[in-house]
A = this chain, B = another copy of it.
Amino acid sequence: MFQVPTKTQYAIRALVHLVHAKSASVASIAEAEHIPSKYLEAILGKLKNAGLLISERGRNGGYRLAKDPTLIPMSEVVQATEGEIRLVECVDNAAVCILGEGCLPRHFWLGLKSAVDLYLESVTLAEIAGPETSST
């Protein structure tokens, strides 16, 4: 449980890269971060669809952040790569559980989900990227 997929780790590395680089192509990020470039391509596509990145096609194209990293909670990043976190079926879909509201294990899982969500919402991409090294 709770093995973080490399997909997500890659996504974070790429985003951190973009915080510092302003703009970069898939190939350049892949090389700098040692990520298979075709795989990264798909991951950045997801981040774009989630509204975290903006892309420019054609020559001199590439990706850049769609908003200030201080405004991007990590919960958004995780959600973008993996979709909604669903610990157990019954947590999101109470109808599945015969016991319904009275189900104690369900409360347990809800609590865990909320602990995770709260943490992910409390950290921003900017904090993970650290102090800007570039000028201005």
Which A residues have a C-beta under 8 Å from some C-beta of B?
Answer: 1-5, 8-9, 12-13, 16, 74, 78, 82, 85-88, 104-105, 108-109, 111-113, 115-116, 118-120, 123, 127-130
Contact = CB atoms under 8 A, between A and B. Distances in A.
A116 B111 CA distance: 10
A46 B78 CA distance: 32
> A5, A85, A108, A113: which has the most chain B beta carbons within 10 Å?
A108
Contacts of A130: 104
A127 B115 contact: no
Contacts of A2: 1-2, 85-87, 113, 116
A108 B123 contact: yes
